[in-house]
Amino acid sequence: MIADRPSTAAAPAAARRRSAEPSLWPLVTRLHFYAALFVAPFLFLAALTGLAYAFAPQLDQIVYRDVLRVEQVTGDPRPMHQQIRAARAAHPEGRIASVVPPATPEETTRVVLEVAEPDERRRSVYVDPYTGEVTGALTTKLGGTPITTWLSEAHSNLHLGAPGRIYLELAASWLWLVVVAGLLMWLGRRRLYRGKAPFWRALWYDRSGRGVRRDRSRHATLGLWLSIGAVFLSLTGLSWSDHGGARFEAVERSLGAKAPALDTALPVPTGRKARPPGDDAATAGAADPARRVGPVLAAARAAGLSGPVEVGLPRVDGTAWTVTQTDNRWPVRKDQVAVDPATGKVTDRVDWADHPRSSRLRFLGSQVHRGPLFGPVNQAVLAVIALGLLVVIAWGYRMWWRRRPTGAERWTLGGRPPPRAAWRKLPVPVLVTGFPVLLVLLWAMPVLGLSLAGFLVADAVVGAVQRRRAADPAR
């Protein structure tokens, strides 16, 4: 974000004020210029794909309505084992990984099969709980339909796999820095050039400006309004990124903030009460897992797990089944229980409140970032931020292009950047205190550090070439 320049009539006064300009000013200006110029394409893609992903639930209901919802609610649902057997009759391949009962009377039951699919994908078979008919089958990932999965991967890695995830982490790493630098420039220049003008004037663009000046004002003012949301999306996106997220988890582990794990080991029976051969949980569950889902779900409901849940069947013999709450809407419900399928007893429990505060905050932040936490209001806010970022980026490139030189240098690409070596003018106390902070930031955000190093090297090379040409005009 770049602020208005003073008018020609105010040039003498502005020149006097520039003498009081902070030493950080040239550095902040150059940082915002280069970061915004080269990272903006990644930010544009992230905002565009994120805008589409935020409305994936609505797209699901439009495209897969016949699969996800029943035609008519009639009477009581059939027993769970009958629904599962109907799903297995239509799709006998693979093993049952989990069962998701309908959260509302209008939803279908989902039977998730573990089959030979790449990248943690599953085959989900949907059953009408009232008629027992299979309404369809979809290839899902982490519960997401094909459309949701496609939009999620477009946003997170541009369908390029692990290498593509660098693009999103690059955008998230630089977004907060671009916003902070832009805010410092806009608010600082408003104070510098407007003197004692009311602060609220910085909240709206200068309608008297024309051309580049008006573009700057609109770019900066809209960026100011979006700043809090943009920084929030930047930090929450980094919290689960490959490299920045790993650093965050390392700090959590060092502080002992480890999320508790559900113990699925079954107690070893002894004495007269030992189960007879063939009557243990694993054998019974393997013989007819469909019969066990109903009692396991009833035990979890009796233990207080209300709302949407998922019943997980174990891969390993002799372990308990799990029931996990999957409600990502506020107030979230994420309790878990382990249930012995042979006795219907709860053998272990991990409540949402048992998780470290940092883990809960990170999860809540991710749900706001993705859109489900506060429902349609959450989605609407995300849409406004995404659309605003697209407009801010477009205005930024527009004014950069319109500021390109004229005359002999008219073919120069875009406007000239601020002067180099601004950091050399910083006061020593700022350098002494700022350098450790910079090291911490670069450790916490490795992608930011590597890309910043690349910028500095490229800038130094360009500067050296330009100085050499200036020293030898005959070249």
Residue range 305-347, pLDDT digits in tens:
999 999 999 998 889 999 999 999 999 999 999 999 999 999 9
Which two tokens mark 263? 């113990």
The correct CATH number of 271-354 out of 1.10.287, 3.30.56, 3.10.450, 1.10.357 is 3.10.450
- C-beta of residue 247 within 8 angstroms of C-beta of residue 446: yes
Rounded to an integer, the average pLDDT of 385-409 is 82
Angle at 333 between CA 332 and CA 335, to 5 degrees: 145
- Identical fold for domains 65-144 and 271-354, yes or no, is yes
Rounded to an integer, the average pLDDT of 68-84 is 95
Task: Pick the range with the lowest mean pLDDT from 151-155, 301-305, 458-462.
Answer: 458-462
pLDDT tens-digit profile of 256-271? 788 899 999 998 766 5
- C-beta of residue 371 within 8 angstroms of C-beta of residue 385: no
pLDDT at 19 over 60: no
H or E stretch at 310: strand 309-312
| CATH class assigned to 65-144 | alpha beta
Which sequence spans correspond to the domains of the chain? Answer: 65-144, 271-354
Rounded Cα gap, residues 167 and 172, in angstroms = 9
Rounded Cα gap, residues 165 and 135, in angstroms = 35
DSSP H helices in 275-374:
281-287, 289-302, 357-370
> pTM value?
0.83
